A and B are shown apart, each in its own frame.
Chain A
Amino acid sequence: MKLTFDPDVEAFRAEFAAFLAEHAPAAEEAAERPRSSSHIPEWARRWQRLLFEEGWLLPANPPEFGGRNASLLQQYVHLEELAKRKIYHSFNPQGLGIIAASLLSFGTEEQKHRWAVPILRAEITAALGMSEPGAGSDLASLRTRADLQGDHFVVNGQKVWTSGAHDADFILAFVRTDPDAPKHKGISVLIVPTDLPGVNRRPFGSLVGPDDLDFNEVFFEDVKVPAENLVGALNDGWRVANGSLGHERNMLWLHFATRLEEQIRDFQPATVLDRDWYATLVMDAQALRLMGSAALARASRGEQDVAALSVLKLFGSEATQKAAERMLDAHGAEGLYPTPTGPQAPLNLDVFITGWFERYARSFGGTIAGGTSEIQRTVIAERVLGLPRG
């Protein structure tokens, strides 16, 4: 146990910090804002490409995929340096963190170069087609069908909550290819370009506003997808799904740690009660960093404990939400206004500094998406604490 990292990790951090100091885009270059999680403004495309070429995009990757074979702890300080400067890692986060990563793990060489590399270089963007109207927490019950007919699949069905689909060049879709197999065993993964005939995307507003468009319904009507777009083996999609979500799992908590630290920055407690809430926020932020660092240290020793990561997700998302509510409450009627509540950071998302009410509303993304708090509690009880399945 120590308060510092080993010298190799600190040297890595210093090198990246020097790169950022020299190359990060200036505020005036970053005027154009992203409009969805699959829309990357032109300046951000240039920036992401530079990160890719210099091996600073995903440092754990080999150089041909935008990295420099970095260790897990080096990866961590890389993200820390980005967060410190309020630089959003990629404006197509699911493309970078989940889809490209899945293709690099499960795809063919051809798929890696045709689909993953362009995502990493910000030439195209991608959306993740998992949830359906009838398949949320119970993802394996998904019903979108894909039938192999000769050299192509015919896809029919519907996805929902598909973030950024309307701006994405393709959807990584989880589809049922064997309706007779047990539900986890009949799923496959397809790359579905969004310009294929029969793909219809309908973005819909969030509770923030009718023009806050990131979620989509996606309808597939007799879409002909080339058989070569199958990722991984036929009917082996559940393994890909677990792998896909696993790529980011070690670092997911860092997102909440960053939110908590922004909340500390923006709170400005005024009353005795505010200060009491503020202290809880300070403790939560510190505790999450500590618990996350311990999980990371275990993972870098090769002791991967996936269920234990549920503790971090549950704790981080609920702490963020609790603080968001208290910050809203602390502002009384002023909290009703959409006035920005933090300093604008041109390389970051604007949603992190919206009005207090919106920040609170958006905090529910953390407790619902990526496995609800209820699912996390069940996972912790059964797989960490060993309670019997009900």
Chain B
Amino acid sequence: MIFEFDEDQRLWQATVREAVAKECPPALVRGVVDEGVDPGPLWRAYVRHGWTELTGSGEAVELAIVLEELGRATDPTPYLATMTQFAPFFPEAVEKGVSGTAVFEGVTARRDGDGWTLDGTARHVLDGDRADRLAVVTGEGVFTVPAARVTATREQVFDPLLHVAEVSFTGVRVTADDRSAADLEGARHRALAGLALTMVGACQRILDLTLEHVRTRHQFGVPIGSFQAVKHKAADMHVAIERARALAYYAALTIAADDPRRRLAASMAKAAAGECQSLVFQSGFQLFGGMGYTWENDLQFALKRAKAGELLLGGAAEHRALIAEEYA
């Protein structure tokens, strides 16, 4: 195995990093939260950069690079939901710049003439209040439904950047033309890997901010980063991120290669990202001292993004149970 970016991938990473710095700077993210700035133009910038064209599973590593960088920038658009929850089912729409998400549970499909009728209410749907289209997972298959045909309400959550919604379906008619031919399990792996990569990016951001803080914050006449107690926490954060990143990219790589190990790899990625955020959240927050406890410090966005990831699509303990089952 050559577990390192090839030359094209390194170039892609540099390109993405540069574009993210320009398009999605911390000031913009802050503006979205504090002043209600519309992230719409940012989404259109991603479309212009071609990032919404990375819908094929063969491009999973290239997409992973974008997802990690956007996790690091605490991206305020529905990119993650669109690319890792909707696109695996309905790639053509996304390639045209349409946003989307998935409703994984809570909706039933009833056979109705030559089609089906969808009913039910789903909670905590990522970006369910602002995605153009929904991929609705039911016992009869996965159907695409335009947002206009459902009732979606953004729910109040602790993370001010996160959009989660309650989505209700009342007698929504769908036909065979609306049904996805994609493999549901494979799509789930892509959703898990996507969330894991986002969390890795957010954890890296926490470490970046923490390092900057401990290098510049002086106490007892020296930077606090010169104290061994601080150094060793920072080193542990770095190791946890490296481990989680390795497993997240491994998941992307097995998805790209359509390798049977992707099932195990996706759970390992999600579990490792979960373990990573636990340590990085705790140490990063702690090392920031009181300054990390304020609204005006951007650390909060990365902390909340990292922890939110753990709470969605199954946490570390749940995925460890799957790993043990899969591996035994």
Contacts and interface: CB of A to CB of B under 8 A. Distances in A.
Contacts of A286: 247, 250, 268
Contacts of A5: 1-2
Contact of B234 (A6, A284, A387): A387
B257 interface: yes
Interface stretch (B135-143, B168-176, B178-186, B238-246): B238-246
A294 interface: yes
B17 interface: no
Nearest to A381: B231
A387 B2 contact: no
Nearest to A264: B327
A269 interface: yes
Interface in A375-390: 376-378, 380-382, 384-390
Contacts of B246: 287, 290-291, 294
Interface string B271-283: 1100000000000
Interface stretch (A122-130, A228-236, A273-281, A336-344): A273-281
Nearest to A378: B231
A295 to B, nearest CB: 9
Given A279-B320, A290-B3, A390-B228, A2 B253 contact: yes
Contacts of B234: 380-381, 385, 387
Nearest to A268: B328
A147 B328 CA distance: 61
B293 interface: no
Contacts of A378: 228, 231-232, 235
Contact of B3 (A293, A314, A377): A293
Nearest to A282: B327
Contacts of A21: none
A278 B324 contact: yes
Nearest to A275: B324
B273 to A, nearest CB: 11
B15 interface: no
A269 B3 contact: no
Nearest to A274: B324
B323 A388 contact: no
Interface residues of B, number: 48
A interface residue count range (under 10 / 10 to 19 / 20 to 34 / 35 or more) = 35 or more
Interface string A225-260: 000000000000000000000000000000000000
A11 B230 CA distance: 48
B320 A2 contact: no
Contacts of A282: 268, 323-324, 327
Given A269-B328, A286-B250, A276 B2 contact: no
A322 interface: no
Contact of A1 (B2, B239, B243, B271): B2
Contacts of B231: 377-378, 381-382, 387, 390
Interface string A1-43: 1111110000000000000000000000000000000000000
A78 to B, nearest CB: 16
A85 interface: no
B226 A311 contact: no
Nearest to B228: A390
A275 B250 contact: no
B61 A1 contact: yes
A141 B320 CA distance: 46
Contact of B323 (A279, A294, A384, A386): A279
B4 A294 contact: yes
A202 interface: no
Those 9 A-B pairs whose CB atoms lie nearest each other, nearest first: A381-B231, A279-B320, A297-B4, A275-B324, A290-B246, A377-B235, A293-B3, A279-B323, A380-B235
Given A279-B321, A283-B247, 11 more contacts: A275-B325, A279-B324, A282-B324, A283-B320, A286-B247, A293-B2, A297-B3, A374-B232, A378-B231, A387-B234, A390-B228
Interface of A: 1-6, 264, 269, 272, 275-276, 278-280, 282-284, 286-287, 289-291, 293-294, 297-298, 311, 314-315, 374, 376-378, 380-382, 384-390
Interface of B: 1-6, 9, 61, 207, 211, 214-215, 222-223, 225-228, 230-232, 234-236, 238-239, 242-243, 246-247, 249-250, 253-254, 257, 259, 268, 271-272, 317, 319-321, 323-325, 327-328
29 contacts: A1-B6, A1-B9, A1-B249, A2-B253, A3-B253, A3-B254, A278-B327, A282-B323, A283-B243, A283-B320, A283-B323, A284-B243, A286-B250, A287-B268, A290-B3, A290-B246, A290-B250, A294-B3, A311-B238, A315-B242, A315-B243, A374-B232, A376-B235, A380-B234, A382-B231, A385-B238, A387-B211, A389-B226, A390-B227
